[in-house]
Amino acid sequence: MISALSLGTLAGSDIIIGADYRVVFSSPELQPAAGKLADYISKVTGNRLSVSGDTDPEKAVILQTDGGKIPNGFNIAAKGNSVFITGSSLSQTVRGVYAFLEKFCGINCFTSEITVYSLDEIRIPSDTDYSYAPYFEYTDTDWLSPKNTEYSLFNGLNGSQYRKIPAEYGGTVSYISGFGHTLTNQFCSKDKYFESHPEYFSLNMGRRKANQLCLSNPDVLEIVTEEVFELLRKKHNPEADLQIVSLTQNDNIFFCRCAKCRAIDKKYGSHAGTMLEFVNAIARKVKEAGYDNVVLDTFAYRYTRAVPHGIAPEDNVCVRLCSIECCFSHTLDDPSCKTNVSFMKDLQGWSEICKRLYIWDYCTNYSNFTGIFPDFGTLQKNMQIFYEHNVKGVYEEGNYTMNTCDTEFGELRAYLISKLYQNPYRDLKADRDAFLAAYYGAGGEYVGEFLDIITENAPKKHLGIYQPMTSTLSLSSKQIAECDSLWEKAEEAAEAEAKINVRNSALSWRYWKMKNRASEFSDSAKYEENKAKLTDDINATGIEKWYESTAMTAFFTSVYQMLFFSLYPVINSIVNLIYRV
C-alpha cells in the first residue's frame, strides 16, 4: 500500500525550496524583486535564503528578464533542481514573482491588512512550465486596499490613480496628466483663457461658455499641443512601459455647436469624430517627436460615445469607453436590456477601429454609496465581454470616497475585480469563498449565503448606478427575515477583527432596510430611533459621504435613473436629440 507520505517521496524530482537554496537575479535591476522574494520565502519556510547576482543555476530560484523569448508576460519553469521566473520585461518578471508566491508558496493577499500563508513548504512539481500573458495592460479600481503597493503587486493592479509602485517593481501605467476631464481644466484652461478668448470655448444658444472647448479652432489645437509637449518635457519617462496623456471632455453635455464644429461632427456622424480629429493631430506630432511609449487618451463618453465613421484613432491614441448609462443587473450582452444593447453596439464599433480601447466601468451606487449594489452576477461576464472585444485596459470606478469602512462590500469587490483583471475566466466563486473565509472568518459562509440571495434577487427590471434603494432588490418578507438571520449568524460565528468586518458590511443591509422601511424599520414608532442608531454606526466607521455630491443631487439622480429605465425609449430619443449631429 502506498501511503500519502510515500507518494510524496516518490515524487522525489519535485523541487522543494529548502535552506540550501538561493535567490538569484540575472541582472542588477532585478535585485530588489529577488530580495522581496527571499523575504516572503522566509515567512513561509522559516529559511532566509541568500540573494546573489551570480549565474550558477544550481539549487536556485532565478529571476531573469528576456524580452526575446517571451513576447509579453512571464514564465515559471522547473529545470533540474532550479526554478526560473522569466519575464518579457522588468514589470512582467516582477508579476512572475508574485504569481510564484501565490501559486507555489500559498500566499494570498486578500486586503492590505490580511495576507494568508496557507503552506509551510514550497514544492514545485518537476514538470512545471507555467506561462501567463496579461489579459489587460492597464487595470485600476477604487476602494481601500487597492491603494496599497503589496496588495496591488499580488493582485495585478498597475494603474497610477491610487498607487505608487516603485520603478524597481515595474512601476505603474501612469496618466501623467490628470485622469479625466482635462481639456478645459488643464490644457486650454478656462481660468487662463476664457476671459480674453471666449472663442476658444463652446458655443451654445448663441453664447460662448467655458463648458467645453471649440475643437475646430486652430489656436486651441496649438495651445493644447504646446501644453502636451510641455507636460512631456516635465514628466516623460522613457523607461516606463507606458505613459498616458488624457485629452478628455468636461463632465457636461454642452459641446460646441459653432458652424465649423457642427460641419465636422456631420462629416463623421458623431461628435467623437471632431474629438478624434483633434486628438489625432496632436498624437501624430507626439509620435513624430519619438515619444514611443506615450499614448494620448480620449473619452467615448455620453455625447462622444457613438462611433464615428470615416475616421479611426491613430495607433498612439487610446479611447476610453464609459458605461455610465448601462444596467448592471443584466449582463452587457443581454438582448432584453435595451440600454446594454445600445452600449454593446458602440463597444463593437470602437473595438473595430481602435488599436487601444479602454473601459471606464462602474460598480457602485452613487446616490447611495452605503447601499446594496447587487451586480455580483454580472461582473465576471462583463469582464469577459471587455476582453473579447479587444479591450486593453479597465478602470472599475467604485466608491472613491470610501474612508475607513468596508461598506458596501468594498474590500470584496476590489479583490474580485482585481482577480478578474488577472483572468476573466477564473473560478470566481472559489476566489469569493476564499476571501469570505479570510475576511469574515467563520462568519464567511453566512455572508456568502447573503450574497447569493442578493445576487439572485437583483432587480429583474434594471439596475443603474443611481438606483433608488427601493428598487435595488426584490425580496419577500420571508427572504428579508432570512437575510437578517444570516447576518446574525455571521456576527455570532465571527471572532475578533472578522466580527468587526461583519458588522461593517452589515451596515449596507441595514441601510437597505432603512430605505425600504423593512424589518426593524417597518415599525413607524421606532423608525427614527433605529435610523439614528444606524446613522451613529455608519458615522462611527468614519464614512464621510453617503452619496456623490449633495443630498439634492442624489435625489434627482435617483429620480432620473428610475425614469431612464421606465421610459427608456422616450428618454433615449430626447438624449439622442440633444446629441444629434
Binding site for Zn ion (CB under 5 A): 214, 216, 256, 258, 261, 327, 330, 337, 462
Residue among 175 and 255 whose Cβ is closer to Zn ion: 255
CB 334 to Zn ion: min, Å: 6
From residue 514, alpha-carbon distances to 28, 328, 510, 511, 528 in Å are: 58, 23, 6, 5, 10
For residue 107, list its beta bridge partners. Answer: 117
Residue among 435 and 564 whose Cβ is closer to Zn ion: 564
HEC string for 53-106 = CCCCCCCEEEEEECCCCCCCCEEEEEECCEEEEEECCHHHHHHHHHHHHHHCCC
Distance of alpha carbon 357 from alpha carbon 520, whole angstroms: 47
CB 327 to Zn ion: min, Å: 3
C-alpha cell at 133: 500573458
CB 463 to Zn ion: min, Å: 7
Residue among 262 and 355 whose Cβ is closer to Zn ion: 262
Residue among 49 and 256 whose Cβ is closer to Zn ion: 256
Distance of alpha carbon 284 from alpha carbon 242, whole angstroms: 17
Residue among 291 and 343 whose Cβ is closer to Zn ion: 343
Residue among 258 and 571 whose Cβ is closer to Zn ion: 258
Distance of alpha carbon 36 from alpha carbon 54, whole angstroms: 17
CB 545 to Zn ion: min, Å: 27
Our measurement of the distance from residue 172's CA atom to the centroid of its chain's CA atoms, rounded to an integer in Å, reads: 14
Scanning 194-301, the segments in alpha helix (DSSP H) are 218-235, 259-268, 271-288
- Nearest residue to Zn ion, by Cβ distance, number only: 327
CB 256 to Zn ion: min, Å: 3
Q: List the one residue out of 134, 140, 179 whose CA is nearest residue 163.
A: 140
Residue among 145 and 216 whose Cβ is closer to Zn ion: 216
Our measurement of the distance from residue 175's CA atom to the centroid of its chain's CA atoms, rounded to an integer in Å, reads: 15
C-alpha cell at 87: 519575464
CB 567 to Zn ion: min, Å: 14
Our measurement of the distance from residue 179's CA atom to the centroid of its chain's CA atoms, rounded to an integer in Å, reads: 14
CB 570 to Zn ion: min, Å: 17
Q: Find out whether 91 and 174 touch, Cβ atoms under 8 Å.
A: no
Residue among 302 and 330 whose Cβ is closer to Zn ion: 330
Distance of alpha carbon 421 from alpha carbon 155, whole angstroms: 9
Q: List the one residue out of 113, 80, 119, 81 whose CA is nearest residue 100.
A: 119
Residue among 402 and 469 whose Cβ is closer to Zn ion: 469
CB 216 to Zn ion: min, Å: 5
CB 260 to Zn ion: min, Å: 6
CB 136 to Zn ion: min, Å: 25
From residue 139, alpha-carbon distances to 241, 255, 362, 365 in Å are: 14, 29, 14, 21
Residue among 88 and 471 whose Cβ is closer to Zn ion: 471
From residue 5, alpha-carbon distances to 9, 12, 15, 104, 214 in Å are: 7, 11, 16, 19, 74
Q: Find out whether 78 and 124 touch, Cβ atoms under 8 Å.
A: yes
Distance of alpha carbon 22 from alpha carbon 18, whole angstroms: 9
Residue among 414 and 463 whose Cβ is closer to Zn ion: 463
CB 340 to Zn ion: min, Å: 6
